[in-house]
A and B are shown apart, each in its own frame.
Chain A
Amino acid sequence: NAGVMQNPRHLVRRRGQEARLRCSPMKGHSHVYWYRQLPEEGLKFMVYLQKENIIDESGMPKERFSAEFPKEGPSILRIQQVVRGDSAAYFCASSPGGERQPEYFGPGTRLTVT
């Protein structure tokens, strides 16, 4: 049973380009969460999605960031017109559902903006 999969593991983008980060949840999990980790810091919640629905995006910057979890395929976190401050590790987690389920994390995508 594969765990949470994320790709790419490392992504380098120039300022102004778009970054697309993908997350495939664990089998049987329909809830996906995205977190951002800045160097030397803990994780910050960004967005919580179920299939075809955004449940809570209170941690997402209002501009340039968007997330989706379509009926088929992985969840996508998209960052448009990246800036140097977007450089971070982006982690995806999945759970079967409900706030009482522990979340299992993917290996993360390390985004570097040059």
Chain B
Amino acid sequence: GEDVEQSLFLSVREGDSSVINCTYTDSSSTYLYWYKQEPGAGLQLLTYIFSNMDMKQDQRLTVLLNKKDKHLSLRIADTQTGDSAIYFCAESRSYQLIWGAGTKLIIKP
């Protein structure tokens, strides 16, 4: 199976909160990242968290890290249509980033 796992799809109503979940395998990962990819576009670094932190907040984004369960989540408050994209979780492992397959966020009006 994948080293980093994410659900493939998440559907939320505009204005609600979105919570995208990710599990990873390497407990020695120092950084964990969330990237956003819009259709046909490159990857935009949204936020990252150092492994000794439990939570990081940046405007509408909240990252929660449960190191014991190797579980990472990204919460987007007040989800807007512009948040429609694929969200990738990635863990750092030596020189590499190990990526999940991405969660496609679908916004319902």
A residues whose Cβ falls under 8 Å from a Cβ of B: 33, 35, 40-45, 48, 55-56, 59, 91, 93, 99-100, 102-108
Contact = CB atoms under 8 A, between A and B. Distances in A.
Closest 7 A/B residue pairs (Cβ) = A42-B99, A107-B42, A105-B43, A45-B96, A48-B95, A42-B101, A43-B99
Query: DSSP majority for the B interface?
Result: strand
B33 interface: yes
A81 to B, nearest CB: 27
A102 B42 contact: no
A106 B42 contact: yes
Contacts, number: 59
Interface of B: 2, 4, 30-31, 33, 35, 41-45, 48, 88, 90, 92, 94-102
A93 B48 CA distance: 16
A48 B92 CA distance: 13
Nearest to B41: A107
20 contacts: A40-B101, A42-B88, A42-B99, A42-B100, A43-B88, A43-B97, A43-B99, A45-B96, A45-B97, A56-B95, A91-B43, A102-B33, A103-B45, A104-B45, A105-B35, A105-B45, A106-B42, A107-B41, A108-B41, A108-B43
